[in-house]
Amino acid sequence: MPDLALTKKDFTSDQEVKWCPGCGDYSILSTMQSFLPELGVPRENIVFISGIGCSSRFPYYLETFGMHSIHGRAPTIATGLAISRPDLSVFVITGDGDSLSIGGNHLIHSLRRNIELKILLFNNRIYGLTKGQYSPTSETGKVTKSSPLGSLDTPFNPISLAIGAEATFVARTVDSDRKHFTEVLRAATAHKGSALIEIFQNCPIFNDGAFEIVKDGDTKGAALLQMVHGQAIKSETHGLIHDGASLKVVELGSVDESDLVIHDAHNADPSYAFALSRLSSSELSHVPVGIFRDVERPGYGSMVNNQVSDIIKAQGAGDLNTLLTSGDTWDVE
């Protein structure tokens, strides 16, 4: 990495941060600002593009290029930018409503194309900016302003969705765990194509404590199944074993340590990562965190630009006069 001698302060804009006190977004922002110097990319070559929602105010607080766009559409704008400007590092900031409801189509298509975007999905399982309606990740039965008798919707599992959409890099972390989040960011930015990071994020106003079980010091050790490539997947109390074609959580000690699943993030078969993604239920009793899947596939932007450069290499750059006078022409004297 080139040493650009940048610090966290260099990535902090002059805008006053306006999230609610105690919002998980503060910690995500701070972690990102601390991480960016390590990326080794000049500030002017970094672009954050967001949609609409609380999380989408994120770009205003970073001293890079940024665009706060429209609801659900950040991946589309980021796609055009990333394809046409392969020299840039493009991040997409989105929330569960922004990316999984109104913008669901763009999220899945960005992932399947493997556009060179790092997508940070702040999942707080609620609509915050519109003041507390259930979101596509809210648990069934959730009572909110728009669901006084309980939500009837079956929630999306963002990790399962991403894997189903042919994503090449899928990870999950928790807003308050800076160390873990930084490790995931490091791997995501090193990945060549699309990377989706789901961040469990607490909304202290409309959905406080939604992730308490994976944040509280007393419970998180047992709830979080740590996924580290090449190591056994386990929490402090539980481990993972193969169960036919699926995976099963068992108490440590009930099986031989050597029977535990050794994590292979580079497994080409997506059904492995998908099985991992299904371990997390709405109750969060066992939640895998870390990198579910990290496989290589050519990035879309690089393929687009290769098509252009290959044809220019083979046929020479286009000549406008030749184009205009191509085909059947005739001269009038």
Partner 1 sequence: MTKPVVSLDQVTIRFAGDSGDGMQLTGDRFTMDTASLGNDLSTLPNYPAEIRAPQGTIPGISSFQLHFADHHVQTPGDEPDVLVAMNPAALKANIKEIRRGATIIVDKDEFTTRNLTKVGYETNPLEDGSLDSYKVHAVGLTSLTVAALSELSLTRKEAERSKNMFALGLLTWMYHRPTESTENFLKAKFGKKPEILAANLLAYKTGWNYGETTEDFAVSYEIAKAHMPAGKYRNISGNTAMAYGLIAASQRSGLKLFLGSYPITPASDILHELSKHKKFGVITFQAEDEIAAIGSALGASYGGALGITTTSGPGVALKSEMIGLGVMLELPLIIIDVQRGGPSTGLPTKTEQSDLLQAMYGRNGESPVAVIAPSHASDCFAIALEAARIATTYRVPVFILSDGYIANGSEPWMIPSVDSLPDLHVEFAQTQEDFMPYLRDPKTLARPWAIPGTKGIEHRIGGLEKADKTGAISYEPANHDLMVRARAAKVAGIEVPDLLVDDPDGDATVLILGWGSTYGPIASAIESLRANGEKVAQAHLRYINPFPKNLGAVLEKYSKVLVPEMNLGQLAMLLRSQFLKDVIPCNQVRGLPFTTQELVDSTMAVIHA
Shortest Å, Cβ 98 to partner 1: 13
Q: What's the CA gap between 331 and 333, in Å, rounded?
A: 6
Contact indicator for 25, 58 with CB cutoff of 8 Å: yes
Helix (H, G, I), strand (E, B) or coil at 14: coil
Contact indicator for 114, 168 with CB cutoff of 8 Å: yes
Looking at the Cβ atoms of 154 and 307, the one nearer to partner 1 is: 307
Helix (H, G, I), strand (E, B) or coil at 75: helix
Shortest Å, Cβ 168 to partner 1: 18
Shortest Å, Cβ 104 to partner 1: 11
Looking at the Cβ atoms of 62 and 284, the one nearer to partner 1 is: 62
Shortest Å, Cβ 113 to partner 1: 9
β-pairing verdict for 89-95 and 46-50? parallel
* Helices 74-84 and 104-113: angle between axes, nearest 10 degrees: 30
Distance of CA 121 to the CA centre of its chain: 5
Shortest Å, Cβ 162 to partner 1: 16
E strand or H helix at 104, and its extent? helix 104-113
**What single letter denotes the amino acid at residue 153?**
D
Shortest Å, Cβ 124 to partner 1: 21
Query: Which residue's entry shows tokens 């070559």?
Result: 45
DSSP secondary structure letters along 154-182? PPP-HHHHHHHTT-SEEEEEETT-HHHHH
Looking at the Cβ atoms of 71 and 278, the one nearer to partner 1 is: 71
Shortest Å, Cβ 31 to partner 1: 19
Looking at the Cβ atoms of 244 and 318, the one nearer to partner 1 is: 318
Q: Which residues contact 91 (CB under 8 A, 6 or more apart)?
A: 46, 47, 48, 49, 78, 117, 118, 119, 120
Looking at the Cβ atoms of 115 and 210, the one nearer to partner 1 is: 115
Q: Among candidates 166, 169, 49, 77, which has minimal Cα distance to 113?
A: 166
Looking at the Cβ atoms of 43 and 278, the one nearer to partner 1 is: 43
46's tokens: 């970094």
Shortest Å, Cβ 99 to partner 1: 13
Q: Give me the residues that bind partner 1 (CB under 8 A), please.
A: 13, 15, 42-47, 49, 52, 59-60, 62-70, 73, 75-85, 87-88, 105-106, 109, 304-305, 307-308, 311-312, 315-318, 320-321, 323-325, 327-333
Distance of CA 273 to the CA centre of its chain: 15
Q: What's the CA gap between 166 and 180, in Å, rounded?
A: 24
Looking at the Cβ atoms of 40 and 42, the one nearer to partner 1 is: 42
Looking at the Cβ atoms of 118 and 125, the one nearer to partner 1 is: 118
* CA trace torsion 132, 17, 195, 239 (10° rounding): -70
